[in-house]
Structure 1
């Protein structure tokens, strides 16, 4: 049993980032043509496009501000013009980075940025791409959440607020569009090892790993594996799910 995405078109926001680039590669390896979204990492996006082109897949890069409806709609038009169609698979992976601190010290602008890049990104992507999924009676709408949504550790408040708001959008959307053959799911990574960690030699953290039942940090490839699964027909009856990929560090209860 293989993950077969041949004939599918997939959009990954933040596709040139640490986790996004592995999602792009994995979706392409499964046969999908891919759209690599970026906001400011043009050189990295171009490098990844050249890499994916070597696989024979169709690929484009597109710049957009995912916190702006106008910009997302412009991205939609660029994709339509380039491919002559819109993606069956969207992965909302991009998020604004900021410095974590306590609620009392956190800049209110950080809460706004997290709301815009978690909640509103998802809303804008839905408005841009779900109507075409409804028309074709098929679609995969995937969001990258976080284990932090259940941890609620000190210093996480803006991030947690944005991701918990995002969770609400996905659960409601799943009920609204399920009748059209569209699945809506979230992947919730733990503290994940990426290329940055490999370059810095920081793959391990004893205190964190001690809390993980599987005894280690997950990898970017393991996150991408779950995304590819949810994008495929193997997950055709899975929707409305928040799926931790964190080695058991969090365990949603019934």
Structure 2
């Protein structure tokens, strides 16, 4: 049994990021054509584009502010100049900020995370879901985080944004499910990615000791889960929140 995305077109937001770049290349390796979204890192976007094209898949790069409606709609126009349809959305982009306590966290950081986590998906929905409804097919995959279930000190702005995103995705799954569009979330743990594969990786023993599998996962583990949820193998899974963290957090029933 293989994951076959032949004939599908996927958009990965934040595709130049540590996890996004692996997701984009993995979807392409499964047969999908890929839209590589970036905000600032055009050089990395071009590098990923070349790698995907080397796999024999079509790849285009688009620059957009995914928290701005006009920018998202312009991105939509660029995509549909290159492709007849968009089948898969991976909402992976997220803004970065300095974590601190609620008393010290700047109010604008909460707004920033809300825009990055929640409004990104609202705007992507408004831009692309009408066409998915016409096609009676679609896959929407949001990248959440294990932090949503941890609620540790200093995570408040990030967790607030991601938990808001969780509510949006659960409602969206119910609103558009009849159109054969699935809506799911993948929640990574602290994964090993290019950033942590150097000669002096960041110490992680305190983290790993609490993980049932006693190790950190790889960026590829996230990409594999995204590819599965994007495929027809997962065509009866919607509204799911899937932690990919070695059991570090476990969604309650």
| Maintained 8 Å contact 1:204/1:216 | no
The reply to whether residue 30 of structure 1 matches residue 30 of structure 2 is yes
2-structure distance, mates of 1:171, 1:204: 35
Deviation at 1:247, TM superposition (A): 0.3
- In structure 2, the partner of 1:51 is 51
Deviation at 1:200, TM superposition (A): 5.1
1-structure distance, mates of 2:120, 2:195: 25
The reply to whether residue 98 of structure 1 matches residue 132 of structure 2 is no
Deviation at 1:160, TM superposition (A): 0.1
The ranges of structure 1 where at least 4 consecutive aligned residues each deviate by more than 4 angstroms after the TM superposition are none
2-structure distance, mates of 1:185, 1:23: 15
Q: What pairs up with 1:167-246 in 2 under 5 angstroms? A: 167-199=166-198, 201-202=200-201, 205-246=204-245
SS at match of 1:125: helix
Superposed CA offset, 1:87-122 (max 9, x none): 100000000001100000011111111000100000
The reply to whether residue 118 of structure 1 matches residue 117 of structure 2 is yes
Q: What TM-score do the two structures reach when normalised by structure 1?
A: 0.98
Q: What TM-score do the two structures reach when normalised by structure 2?
A: 0.99
1-structure distance, mates of 2:156, 2:230: 30
1-structure distance, mates of 2:104, 2:184: 33
Deviation at 1:201, TM superposition (A): 3.2
SS at match of 1:186: strand
The reply to whether residue 12 of structure 1 matches residue 12 of structure 2 is yes
SS at match of 2:142: strand
2-structure distance, mates of 1:75, 1:11: 11
- In structure 1, the partner of 2:60 is 60
2-structure distance, mates of 1:200, 1:66: 34
Q: What pairs up with 1:79-90 in 2 under 5 angstroms? A: 79-83=79-83, 85-90=84-89
1-structure distance, mates of 2:17, 2:180: 30
- In structure 2, the partner of 1:253 is 252
SS at match of 2:210: coil
- In structure 2, the partner of 1:142 is 141
| Maintained 8 Å contact 1:76/1:86 | no
1-structure distance, mates of 2:146, 2:126: 26
Superposed CA offset, 1:203-252 (max 9, x none): 65110000000001111000000000000000000000000000000011
1-structure distance, mates of 2:110, 2:199: 30
2-structure distance, mates of 1:211, 1:239: 29
- Counting matched residue pairs gives 253
Root-mean-square deviation (CA, aligned residues, Å) is 0.8
The gaps in structure 1 that reach 5 residues or longer are none
| Structure 1 stretch displaced more, 200-209 or 44-53 | 200-209
| Maintained 8 Å contact 1:193/1:203 | no
Deviation at 1:71, TM superposition (A): 0.4
| Maintained 8 Å contact 1:28/1:52 | yes
2-structure distance, mates of 1:107, 1:25: 36
Superposed CA offset, 1:14-34 (max 9, x none): 001110000001000000000
